Chains A and B, each alone.
Chain A
């Protein structure tokens, strides 16, 4: 009995230590990124571990102007907002039709959209460049939006469909008896109930779109059209030596997605959980 108790305590201690190490591995680089962004150039090399002596917030404004982050920020925000505004309604409607209505080519349409999982951006990068030449979408934000949105169709349809299917049918029937059209009942009754699914999509697609780098490298050619990841890379290539400013730039790039994630978190986790675990 005593032996058992001792073992249990040792086990608990080991668990706590393991967890602490993993948490430290995750969070320390982030803290270090922020603290590095506030150091002077000299201090960055001499004071590797500690917090900065004097907090140089000037690094942020310097990075902002030297990397031309204003324009790139706007570009990234436009691409993010419009892409989500294209994806969510398109995918929502398609998923609803596949989940809740009957039509002749339902299975075919669903399988066709799911094919998107087989042709990811990686293998499409070079062909996308040629297609963009044909469409006149090279070096255009609209190119980032349309090609980016097409990549998100498959998973979005899959995820929302599984949400719609889990909702009871009586809900829409009641709404339709009350005089709603099919579309109105979808919009007012079903969609609000699928909020965790929608939020999951917003977070996952938002992360993908905001961080899109390969597509940007293929499509965007000029400084004025660059999005943040591409802009940060070219900033890093140009000013290799000024690490505190580079780190300040990294923090600036990272913050919006972190904020979205933290706010959407509860719905998001709920959505991920429901999407992956079928009880």
Chain B
């Protein structure tokens, strides 16, 4: 004890530095995150209790905005579209990503080349993808309808973005098209990590391709599948504004209106930021569960180092 005490100022100084060091290291992230993500978030909850057009003074209205949202059937339709969209897009991205990965696994040559190509659309913005595909879907000059008439499938020719029954599927396809390569990379990594002798042992036991798939591939890929699905779900629920805005603007007849486009419209076309905030809070509440599962699965079975 005595020696420690007499052991000069430098040691104390160093100990103090060691103590402060971690806090100094996390400070920038914590500050930026707090000011520019958490603060706006709290602000959104606050504003949801006011009437506000974005310019004049705010007026406290209690839960009025929320009761307005509850009787606004347009919002609930938009929410229905959002979840419908998220479900099919998640399934589509994962199925296509998985099939691609499986095909890549068996490829003996040019693996890197094909992987690069299928990943390319991920780097494109939704604005670019949306404009490109809007033109492919163009009823008279678009590639798709021209291709269909070329192969004699005239009965399939339709207004891909102008038919209210079809438009949302066309938009979903573009989202799937953009992200399939991303999921493919993750699935490919998962598939490559499965030891080959598992399959060899199963073959010796007489297992066919189907049982190998369900008994080895799927269980081994478990964590990769969870990650892929979560990423696709959270992505599809809250990042479809761009693609819908660019391709259809929510139309025709509101058939592709999702929660985000409707919220944006309320805020910047109807100048009702209070109601828009209330709708954002409700959307947050509905998507929270997926975010929470994602955090849980990302931190699970990991031990904090020492």
Chain B residue numbers with a CB within 8 Å of A233 are 127, 245-246
A130 touches B238 (CB 8 A): no
B263 touches A125 (CB 8 A): yes
Chain B residue numbers with a CB within 8 Å of A103 are 19, 22-23
Chain B residue numbers with a CB within 8 Å of A147 are 36-37, 40
Chain B residue numbers with a CB within 8 Å of A158 are 298
Count of chain A to chain B residue pairs whose CB atoms are closer than 8 Å in the complex: 283
The answer to the question of A82 belonging to the interface, with a C-beta cut-off of 8 Å to chain B, is no
Chain A residue numbers with a CB within 8 Å of B146 are 48-49
Give the distance in Å from the alpha carbon of A183 to the alpha carbon of B125 in the complex. 37
**In which size bucket is the chain B interface?**
35 or more
Which secondary structure dominates where chain A touches chain B? helix
Q: How far is the CB of A21 from chain B (nearest CB, A)?
A: 10
Contact code string B209-233 (vs A, CB < 8 Å = 1, else 0): 0000000000000011001000000
A97 touches B299 (CB 8 A): no
Give the distance in Å from the alpha carbon of A257 to the alpha carbon of B128 in the complex. 12
Q: How far is the CB of B38 from chain A (nearest CB, A)?
A: 8
- If the complex has contacts A23-B114, A130-B273, A278-B223, are A210 and B125 also in contact, measured as CB distance less than 8 A? yes
- If the complex has contacts A117-B234, A233-B246, are A99 and B29 also in contact, measured as CB distance less than 8 A? no
- If the complex has contacts A146-B35, A254-B128, are A182 and B21 also in contact, measured as CB distance less than 8 A? yes
A29 touches B36 (CB 8 A): no
- If the complex has contacts A117-B291, A183-B21, A269-B185, are A23 and B117 also in contact, measured as CB distance less than 8 A? yes
Give the distance in Å from the alpha carbon of A27 to the alpha carbon of B306 in the complex. 48
The answer to the question of B270 belonging to the interface, with a C-beta cut-off of 8 Å to chain A, is no
- The segment out of B41-49, B70-78, B157-165 that lies at the interface is B41-49
- The segment out of A67-75, A88-96, A188-196 that lies at the interface is A88-96
**In which size bucket is the chain A interface?**
35 or more
Of B40, B47, B264, B288, the residue contacting A124 (CB under 8 A) is B40
Q: How far is the CB of B170 from chain A (nearest CB, A)?
A: 14
Of A115, A262, A272, the residue contacting B116 (CB under 8 A) is A262
Q: Which of A44, A119, A210 has the most CB of B within 10 A?
A: A119
Contact code string A88-130 (vs B, CB < 8 Å = 1, else 0): 0111011011111111001101111111111111111111111
Of A26, A112, A125, the residue contacting B260 (CB under 8 A) is A125
Contact code string B12-30 (vs A, CB < 8 Å = 1, else 0): 0000001101110110111
The answer to the question of B61 belonging to the interface, with a C-beta cut-off of 8 Å to chain A, is no
**Nearest-CB residue, chain A, relative to B123:** A257
Q: Which of B277-306 contact A (CB under 8 A)?
A: 277, 280-281, 283-284, 287-288, 291-292, 294-295, 298-299, 302, 304-306
B41 touches A127 (CB 8 A): yes
**Nearest-CB residue, chain A, relative to B44:** A127
The answer to the question of B120 belonging to the interface, with a C-beta cut-off of 8 Å to chain A, is yes
Give the distance in Å from the alpha carbon of A82 to the alpha carbon of B260 in the complex. 28
Give the distance in Å from the alpha carbon of A126 to the alpha carbon of B133 in the complex. 28
The answer to the question of B241 belonging to the interface, with a C-beta cut-off of 8 Å to chain A, is yes
Chain B residue numbers with a CB within 8 Å of A117 are 234, 291, 294-295, 298
The answer to the question of B166 belonging to the interface, with a C-beta cut-off of 8 Å to chain A, is no
Of A29, A253, A262, A273, the residue contacting B133 (CB under 8 A) is A29
- Jot down 30 A-B pairs with beta carbons below 8 A, ordered by A: A26-B117, A26-B120, A106-B304, A113-B30, A118-B287, A118-B291, A119-B291, A122-B240, A122-B241, A124-B280, A125-B280, A126-B44, A126-B47, A126-B267, A127-B40, A127-B41, A129-B267, A147-B40, A211-B127, A211-B242, A217-B245, A229-B242, A250-B131, A258-B120, A261-B120, A272-B185, A272-B186, A273-B192, A276-B186, A278-B223
Binding site for A on B (CB under 8 A): 18-19, 21-23, 25-26, 28-30, 32-33, 35-41, 43-44, 47, 54, 96, 99-100, 103-104, 106-107, 114-128, 131-133, 135-136, 141, 143, 146, 177, 181, 185-186, 189-190, 192-193, 223-224, 227, 234, 237-242, 245-246, 260, 263-264, 267-268, 273, 276-277, 280-281, 283-284, 287-288, 291-292, 294-295, 298-299, 302, 304-306
Binding site for B on A (CB under 8 A): 15, 18-19, 22-23, 25-27, 29-30, 32-33, 36, 44-45, 48-49, 86, 89-91, 93-94, 96-103, 106-107, 109-131, 133-134, 146-147, 149-151, 153-154, 157-158, 162, 165, 182-183, 207, 210-211, 213-214, 217-218, 228-229, 232-233, 236, 243, 246-247, 250, 253-254, 257-258, 260-262, 265, 269, 272-273, 276-279
